[in-house]
Amino acid sequence: MTSVGAMLVIVVFFALAFDYINGFHDTANAIATSVSTRALTPKRAVVVAAVFNFSGALYSTGVAQTIAKDIVSPTIATKEVIVAALAGAIIWNLITWYLGIPSSSSHAIIGGVIGSSAAKAGFSVLHWQGIGKIVSALIFSPIMGIFLGYLIMKGLFLLVGRFSPSKVNHIFRRLQILSASLLAFNHGSNDAQKSMGIITMALISAGIQAPTVLAPPLWVKAACALAMAAGTAAGGWKIIRTMGGKIFKLEPINGFAADLSSSAVIWTATAFPGLHLPVSTTHVVSGSIMGVGSAKRVSAVRWGVAQQMLVAWLVTIPSCGFIAALFYALILRFF
């Protein structure tokens, strides 16, 4: 039987590995538009994203506390449960990354926790009200991205319609550096907190942190921020190709509008009082790009690619839940 201390080290390792993979899997979404429009070279985009992801990850802890308490009680989420949940999410992220499908790390980790917790104690231990709130945010956030992307793009068309395309591209290629930085910051402020919440659950389960203290310690915040920044520096070019060109052919003004609308949706979910909800950067950015493309004309959006992504989104939670439940059974058998 693995000791409590060793198991906790394994939990932290898996959580940071998930954050690292999240960095090159999901952060690609934050820089895809600026790379595809050549506002930034790939190397510069990765550096910008890494720096602002790190900064965003240190910004707040509200989402981490939601993850720590709203899916399942920390007393149920033992270290074995958490390791199984993270293993399921990591495997799914690697599969979708390899195939170049921009699936959601948020869906992956939530599905993993649900699956491993249910494998331990049954579905009755799950906090269905909290899960419903989280899933609602995951569903409605990309819809908000579509509408906001459409509105912002229409507004920009009215604002710059009298200028030549070359001048518009020149202006917004520069503005995209700002919008990409803002999106990377917001991605870090939301996504890194998911691993923070997972580690916090493990600390509470091990008796190291009081159950009433849901905020992650400073070392957890710093470690998760560094892991995500390092993952971002590794890049995610397969996802960038899908997000940056296969949904809709982006010009700099389109990329700026998509980044801006995505940032607004993610920031609202992360920092708005009373919310502090985990959302998927993948979903939100995809929705924003679809909205921006629709503002030009509906037929400009490659809806076949969007349909493929939607299928991946729908199967992520149950697939990760199944993989996590299987891993939990294996952990009990061999450890």
107 pLDDT higher than 50: yes
Name the region of 38 (left: φ>0; alpha: ψ -120 to 50; beta: rest).
Answer: left
User: 11-15, 151-155, 184-188, 190-194 — which one is most confidently predicted on average?
Assistant: 151-155
241 pLDDT higher than 80: no
Beta bridge partners of 72: 126
Token reading at 206: 């091990």
Return the minimum-mean-pLDDT range out of 60-69, 196-205, 239-248.
239-248
Confidence class of residue 98 from pLDDT cuts 50, 70 and 90?
Answer: confident
Tens digit of pLDDT for each residue in 190-223?
888 888 988 988 888 888 888 877 888 889 988 9
Token reading at 268: 């609202």
pLDDT of residue 313: 74
Mean pLDDT of 7-33: 80
12 pLDDT higher than 50: yes
How far is the C-alpha of 149 from the C-alpha of 146, rounded, in Å? Answer: 5
Higher pLDDT, 124 or 304: 124
146 pLDDT higher than 60: yes
What is the average pLDDT score of the chain? Answer: 84
1 pLDDT higher than 50: no
Assign 3-class secondary structure to 245-269.
HHCCCCCHHHHHHHHHHHHHHHHHH
Distances (CA, A) of 5 to 9, 12, 39, 120: 6, 11, 47, 21
What kind and span of H or E run contains 144?
helix 128-160
Q: Which amino acid is at 137?
A: A
Confidence class of residue 153 from pLDDT cuts 50, 70 and 90?
Answer: very high
Per-residue DSSP letter, 80: H
Token reading at 82: 């958490």
How far is the C-alpha of 143 from the C-alpha of 284, rounded, in Å? Answer: 8
319 pLDDT higher than 90: yes
Mean pLDDT of 82-93: 92
Confidence class of residue 3 from pLDDT cuts 50, 70 and 90?
Answer: low
pLDDT of residue 110: 92
Higher pLDDT, 138 or 29: 138
Confidence class of residue 323 from pLDDT cuts 50, 70 and 90?
Answer: very high
